[in-house]
Amino acid sequence: MNKRCTEKFNEIDEELRALFESLKYFSDAQLNRSPSDGKWSILQNMHHLLLGEGFAHQYLTKKLSFNPEFKKSGIGNWFRSRALGFYMKTGIKRKAPEQVNTDLLPSDTKFWETVKKWKEQRMQLKQFLEGLDPDLFNKQVYKHPFVGKLSLYQMLQFFQLHFRRHKKAIDKISNKLPRQND
């Protein structure tokens, strides 16, 4: 993995660790409780993010398995990435892709199992990215479901913006909950 991607990966990993730390004081019942009808619980928000990152890794693994030719990243990628970044910072909602939508989110799960799964998945993604040919980091390798082809760095930027968007929802819910064992 190139230096720029390593730094971005470390940033998103640190934000994830901070999320785990901030939520460890809540019970599974609190973390599974939906704030209102049709709204995701904290753990559902976490599973949505977990699924999104997992599907990205699966996509990359499959795509790279047959050694395709990729176009070099350019100004089009930059604009698509900026547009995605702008959207992620707005409050505008869009229906999640079917691979990561409400139907696939657990209604009842355990926090520490989710933490363990996410840590393992992140470690596998990091190992995967570290094993890639350095030339791939300047190519349009990742396909975002809404904006199309992006570079691997732009994928990591998306992970971070997506995480931060859902972290706002998580914080909104958790700020109203009494902490256990504080």
| Domain total in the chain | 1
pLDDT value, residue 181: 63
Q: What percentage of the chain exceeds 90 in pLDDT? A: 69
Per-residue DSSP letter, 144 = E
In a domain, 83, yes or no: yes
pLDDT at position 76: 85
In a domain, 144, yes or no: yes
Q: Which structural domain, as residue segments, surrounds residue 42?
A: 3-174
Average pLDDT, whole number, for the chain?
91
Q: Give all strands (DSSP E) within the chain, no chain letters.
A: 142-144, 148-150
80 domain-assigned: yes
CATH number of the CATH domain containing 56: 1.20.120.450
pLDDT at residue 101 is higher than 80: no
* 180 occurs within a structural domain: no
- Nearest-10 Cα torsion for 73, 78, 83, 87: 80
The strand pairing partners of 143, in sequence order, are 149
Residue 30 domain-assigned (yes or no): yes
Residue 129 lies in a domain: yes
- Which two three-digit tokens encode residue 39? 């709204």
Separation in Å, CA 37 to CA 40, 41, 51, 159, 179: 8, 10, 22, 27, 23
Choice between 157 and 100, residue whose per-residue pLDDT is larger: 157
Q: Which residues pair with 142 in a beta bridge?
A: 150
Mean pLDDT confidence for 15-25: 97
34 found inside a domain? yes
Q: Which amino acid is at 79?
A: F
pLDDT value for 178? 86
Q: Which of 33-37, 97-101, 103-107, 154-158 has the lowest mean pLDDT?
A: 97-101
For the CA atoms of 125, 128, 133, 139, what is the dihedral angle to 10 degrees? -30
* Cβ 151 vs Cβ 141: under 8 Å: yes
φ, ψ (nearest 5 deg) of residue 72:
-70, 140
- When pLDDT is averaged across residues 19-28 and rounded to a whole number, the result is 97
In a domain, 182, yes or no: no
pLDDT at 98 over 70: no
